[in-house]
Structures are given as structure tokens and as C-alpha cells.
Amino acid sequence: MTPLHDTALRGFASDNYAGIHPEVLDAIAAANGGHQISYGEDVYTARLQEVMATHFGDGALAFPVFNGTGANVTALQSMLPRWGAVIAAATAHINVDEQGAPERVGGMKLLTVPAPDGKLTPELIDREAWGWGDEHRAQPLVVSVTQSTELGTLYTPDELRAICDHAHGHGMHVHLDGARLANAAASLDLPLRAFTRDVGVDVLSFGGTKNGAMGAEAIVVLNPEASAGLVYLRKLNMQLASKMRFVSAQLVALLEGDLWLRNARHANAMAQRLRAGIEAGLADGSIRGVGFTQATQANGVFAILPDGVADRLRESFRFYDWDAARNEVRWMCSFDTAEADIDAFVAAIARETSAA
């Protein structure tokens, strides 16, 4: 097939825009020969269980799924009775970017609290952690955190431990949305277990798609007492792949070696290069009127631009508004973002802000 798009084109809208890492693509091809039992009884899904155990410890159980929303909804369903509610940051993906799926499909109530940096704290959790035994109130039974957050910020292991201890003290369990868990590990320079299982996280969603996979995520159960029925819920939610070997093979390719970490480190480094380039331009006067709204701790940069600049930049580089009312934008870097891409974008920002 002849490519229908410009394969040299790069943007900063989402790490989902990137293609498949060549090593992941090779893994899909390697898994393609002959027949394997469907619906997860294949050797690649069995190997994935072994690989996940090396990262999260013995007993960790992985359920491969198609996408992040499916992972989050299905995981949270398994952690809650019908009357259960989830406490989350107002900026959480489950609240603002999943089209109501947790509540409409999952049948759960979301109890959200403001978190200007995207991070929950025990004190913020307590704004909604009340009303147990009140038949008129959805029962807060799960706390959901995101690592790294939707605002590109990171929880430290101590911060996550404090949240888990606090939630468990109230009889709640903890879910972690790890769509960019690899980026967090790369930035923290810690193994995945150190800020998940070891600090008390019960169930997590592991993201592969943003890290170089074609479409591969996994629900990982770290505490079997916190989750029930996943083997049924995955099918009920249309997240059970018949040819699961191709989903599992992608995750094995990422996690069996260090590909997941190399990809995440590169994406993070490109975000740092972008921020550093803008900061240098602000210092020497070649860039004007740009401000940052969040710390750059993973692979995203959040910035305020002068009026009209975002739309002019988007004529050449695709990216999204984050808060259009205040000219806030989000720039995401990927495993395949090149230094030349960053440098060209910084030069365009300098050109457009000077003109403004």
C-alpha cells in the first residue's frame, strides 16, 4: 500500500499521533505465523504474565485490553459495587476525556475535587470521603490517581504512599491510571513497582499505546482482594480480544527489555528540550509573551501564548488548546519526536511571538 500521508510530518498534539515503534511492529509480525488459541489462551499472553511479574512482583495479574478508557472503566467496575463512587481529581481523564463512559457504561459515580496541579492529596480526598452508610449518597469506595497526571506532573512515591494509606484507612481501594506510567518511571528513575505496588496501589491501568504500541493497554491487578470479576467484565465491556496474542505481543515487546523505558526517556527529554528552548528564547528576547502553567516533569509542556499565536502556529504544527479562555495550550512529545522537530517548533514560536 502506498502511504496516504506525509511520513515526515510531526506535531505536538498527542503522543497518540505517533506510529508504532519498529520493534513493536516486528513483534506483531513475529506473533503472526500459524495458529494460537484465541481469547488469551496463547503463549504470548502467558509470557506477558511472566513479564508483568518482573515489573510488579509475583502474583500481579495482567488483563490485556484495547484502549485506555476500556482499561479504566473495566478496572474500576471490578473494584466497585453498583452503589460505589470514585474520588478523582477534576482534571482526571476518567472525568474529562472519557465521554462519560465511567458513569454511563461503568455505572459508577465520580466524585471530583479541584487539583490545580492534577494531583490529589489526603486533604483533597477528604472533601468527598464521607457519607458512608448514608443511603442517599453514592459510597466513596475507590480513589483514582493518574501517573503522570493529565497536567504532566508527577507524584513522588511518598505522595502516593500517603494517598494509599489514607484511602485504605477509610476502607477504600486505590486505582492508578497509568496511561503514561512509563514516562513517570523514566522521570522518577525508579522501577515500576516502586511507586505502584510497593506504595499500596491496588489496581492499575498500564498504557502501551502512548509508548509505542499500536493499540495495547493492560489492567494489572496488584491486590486481588480489591478486584473481582475482571474475567467477565472485560468481555462485557467489549475489551476481550479474540486474537489477543497480537495485543500481548506488543506489551511483551515493550516490557521484556527496556524498550518501554527508552521510549519514555526520549519523549521526556524532548519535552525538556522544548521547554529549555523556549526559556532560552525568553531570556534572550527572541521569544516574547510565553509563560508556563505547569512543571514539565514528563512528556508534556503546558504554556500560555499571546493572542492569535496558537492559531498561526497550528498552520504548521498541530497541537491542542488546553484552556482556550486563557490561551493555554498543551504540547506533547513522543518516542519518535526528533531534536530537529523541537528546534523547528521553537524557531516557529520565536517567529510568531515576535510578530505578535
Asked if 73 and 207 sit in the same domain, the reply is: yes
Per-residue pLDDT reduced to its tens digit, 155-199: 999 999 999 999 999 999 999 999 999 999 999 999 999 999 999
Please give the residue range of the domain that contains residue 113.
22-257
Across 105-119, average pLDDT: 97
Please check whether residue 149 is in contact with residue 89, taking contact to mean a CB–CB distance below 8 angstroms: yes
* Cα gap 354→334, rounded to integer Å: 27
Per-residue pLDDT reduced to its tens digit, 75-95: 999 999 999 999 999 999 999
What's the pTM?
A: 0.97
Of 237, 257, 277, the position where a domain reaches its end is 257
Asked if 77 and 201 sit in the same domain, the reply is: yes
Asked if 240 and 300 sit in the same domain, the reply is: no
Per-residue pLDDT reduced to its tens digit, 115-159: 999 999 999 999 999 999 999 999 999 999 999 999 999 999 999
Asked if 70 and 86 sit in the same domain, the reply is: yes
Of 220, 237, 257, the position where a domain reaches its end is 257
CATH number at residue 299: 3.90.1150.10
DSSP 289: S
Asked if 162 and 111 sit in the same domain, the reply is: yes
- Count of structural domains within the chain: 2
- The confidence score (pLDDT) of residue 8 equals 87
Is the pLDDT at 106 greater than 90? The verdict is yes
The reply to whether 135 falls in a domain is yes
pLDDT level of residue 332 (50, 70, 90 thresholds): very high
CATH number at residue 131: 3.40.640.10
Sheet with 139-146: list strands edge to edge: 61-65, 217-221, 203-207, 173-178, 139-146, 84-89, 109-113
Asked if 128 and 180 sit in the same domain, the reply is: yes
Task: Give one DSSP letter per residue of 152-192, joined into a string.
Answer: S----HHHHHHHHHHHHHTT-EEEEEETTHHHHHHHHT--G
Across 323-347, average pLDDT: 97
Asked if 202 and 264 sit in the same domain, the reply is: no
